[in-house]
Amino acid sequence: MNEIIKPQACNFIIFGIKGDLSKRKLLPALYYLEKKKNIHNDTNIIGISRSKCNIKDNINIIKKSLLNFLEEKINNEVWLKFSARFKFYNLDVYNNNNFIKLKKINLKNKNIIYYFATPPSTFSYICEGLGKNKMNTKNTRIIIEKPLGENLKSYNYINKILLKYFKETQIYRIDHYLGKEIILNLLALRFSNILFFSNWNNNIIDSVQITIFEQIGIEGRTEYFNKTGQTRDMVQNHLLQILTIIAMAPPSNLNSNNISIEKIKILRSLRRIDYKNINENTVLGQYTSGVINNNNVPSYLEEICINNKSNTETFVVIKANIDNWQWFGVPFYLRTGKRIKKKIAEIVIYFKNLPFNLFNKFNKKLLQNKIIIRLYPNEGIEIKIFNKLSGLNNNYKLRSTKLNFNFYEKKNIHKCNAYELLILEAMLGNQSLFVSGNEIKESWKWIDLIINSWKKKKIKPIIYKSGTWGPKESDILIQKDGRKWNK
């Protein structure tokens, strides 16, 4: 039996307890941690919202969220223990004096975690409220959600306020992709197997594809998404984080600072994409109506209720190059979109062709070896290799075989959701699965240049039908390099 990890007791304070993020992600994650006995008996969960409501109604809201978003039935025993942890406060974060109420409850437990599950526009007010009331003592941590700014300038502004009241070691910037089991396994795969470790460079790797496709549209987040677009929503954070984990050199240990140093080196080595090379390195798209899983779905413009034009992209391809000794010449193709035919999230590492085909009498061409790291569906790793067809008459006819490693083959294994893991890590005070301020800064620098170049060159998204694989220009971009997308 594995030992149960139990962090110290804390007051876990959620600003925005009635918001979408809390309902969909945080409350189910906390419930699962309760079920697995990962929460200390003396930990309180304190929900903050603007509107006043009695405790019974608030508890009902929590229960309803679990009923809607848990992947299983609520267990009565767990619920009794879980619901008893809650306290609720109504507080207007725009008024500093209101924070005094919170100060009283904070005295009971030494450690305090503030989760900002509110829009970024409130972050500075919450920080000031906490700071001015001296509630930012060294035993406090804050967890904040993306989007952190919409460009480098606005990010710097947010970061400056955070750093005015909290030290970097107290700030936990969440990117929920870093809590996904398979992404953690990527580190294990790379740095615990000499097989991969010694082959992880431009001598034998040809190219890398990182794809995150979703069937959903913008899910009612009209105002947010129309300002943000797919590049800021997905590439600046999730895809670039995955890229850094694939490409970084081994850190000297698993300490958060050392991991971050290696990731930053990769971000700084990304080749600039500017107005001169933007056309050959990027494709933008926006979905129109179509059919997904036999259902008609509306166009992006219909979803955001705009009849005329919006140039916001819902699909993007970026060909990234890393100019360092290890990766020079290996393109990283980043691709993400909404309302795509299938939900797929995968990383595909293509290896180079062998310089000579010993079996050419029987096989005209040897295909490339590849490793597919699947985030969705069926989290797992697949390695494509070649072997000989068995039988007397087959000589050296080869076939491609999959070595398939599925993480959840055994039924009834509860998949640890990313938020569960990340909240537990924050309770333990371990920052290594969170993103440092400097990583975000470097990501914005690279993305800003791309977005500004689209503007400068007046590049508009190409319309694609919902339920397809995106605009055909995405295929053309990669075909020009003599490659194609993994199917």
Q: Which residues are near ligand BG6 by CB under 6 A?
A: 214, 233, 345
How many residues can be counted in the chain?
A: 487
- Please give the Cα distance from 379 to 360 (Å, whole number): 35
- Say if residue 202 is exposed, middle or buried (CB neighbours under 10 Å; 0-12, 13-18, 19+): middle
- Distance between CA 398 and CA 404 in Å, rounded? 19
Does residue 176 have an active-site annotation? no
Q: How far is the CB of 359 from ligand BG6 (least distance, A)?
A: 40
- Considering the complex, state which of residue 135 and residue 424 has its C-beta at the smaller distance from ligand BG6: 424
- Identify residue 87 by its one-letter amino acid code: K
Q: Residue 423 carries which side chain, given as an amino acid letter?
A: I
**Sole residue written with tokens 């920052």:** 431
Tell me how far apart the alpha carbons of residues 204 and 191 are, in angstroms, rounded to a whole number.
17
Dist. CA 208–CA 333, nearest whole Å = 6
How many Å from the N-terminal Cα to the C-terminal Cα in the chain? Answer: 40
CA atoms of 350 and 414, how far apart (whole Å) = 32
Q: What does the radius of gyration of the chain's CA atoms come to, in whole angstroms?
A: 24
> Contact 231/448 with Cβ under 8 angstroms?
no
* Exposed/middle/buried for residue 445 (C-beta within 10 Å: 0-12, 13-18, 19+): middle
Residue (34 or 214) nearer to ligand BG6, CB: 214
Q: Shortest CA distance to 147 belongs to which of 123, 166, 180?
A: 123
Nearest distance in Å: CB 302, ligand BG6: 18
* Closest CB 143 distance from ligand BG6, rounded Å: 15
Residue 435 CB, shortest distance to ligand BG6, in Å, is 13
Min dist CB 142 to ligand BG6, Å, is: 19
Min separation Cβ 203 and ligand BG6, Å? 32
Q: How far is the CB of 14 from ligand BG6 (least distance, A)?
A: 18
Closer to ligand BG6 by Cβ: residue 58 or 336: 336
Pick from 180, 142, 145: which is nearest to 20 by CA?
145
φ, ψ of residue 194 to 5 degrees: the values are -60, -30
Of 10 and 426, nearer to ligand BG6 (C-beta) is 426
Say how far apart CA 330 and CA 320 lie, in whole Å.
Answer: 9
Which stretches of 267-328 are assigned E, i.e. beta strand?
Answer: 282-292, 295-297, 315-320
Cα(181)–Cα(421) distance, integer angstroms: 9
Task: Give me the residue whose beta carbon is nearest to ligand BG6.
Answer: 233
Whole-number minimum distance, CB 285 to ligand BG6, in Å? 15
Identify which of residues 128 and 233 has a Cβ nearer to ligand BG6 in the complex.
233
Q: Measured from the CB atom, is 141 or 232 closer to ligand BG6?
A: 232
Name the active-site residue from 40, 176, 238, 414: 238
Please, which residue, 206 or 233, has the CB nearer to ligand BG6? 233
Shortest Å, Cβ 335 to ligand BG6:
14
Are residues 151 and 231 in contact, defined by beta-carbon separation less than 8 angstroms?
no
DSSP line for 323-360: -STTTTT--EEEEEESSBSS-EEEEEEEEPPPSS-TTT
The sheet with strand 111-116 has its strands ordered as: 86-90, 44-49, 10-15, 111-116, 140-144, 171-173
When the beta carbons of 236 and 468 are compared against ligand BG6, the nearer one is 236
Question: Do β-strands 295-297 and 282-292 pair in parallel, antiparallel, or remain unpaired?
Answer: antiparallel
320: helix, coil or strand?
Answer: strand
For residues 334 and 345, what is the distance between their CA atoms, to the nearest angstrom? Answer: 11
Q: Which is nearer to ligand BG6, 345 or 440 (CB)?
A: 345
234-270: b or e for each residue (b if 16 or more CB lie within 10 Å)? Answer: bbbbbbbbbbbbbbbeebeeeebeebbbbbbbbbebb
Catalytic residue numbers, as ranges? 238
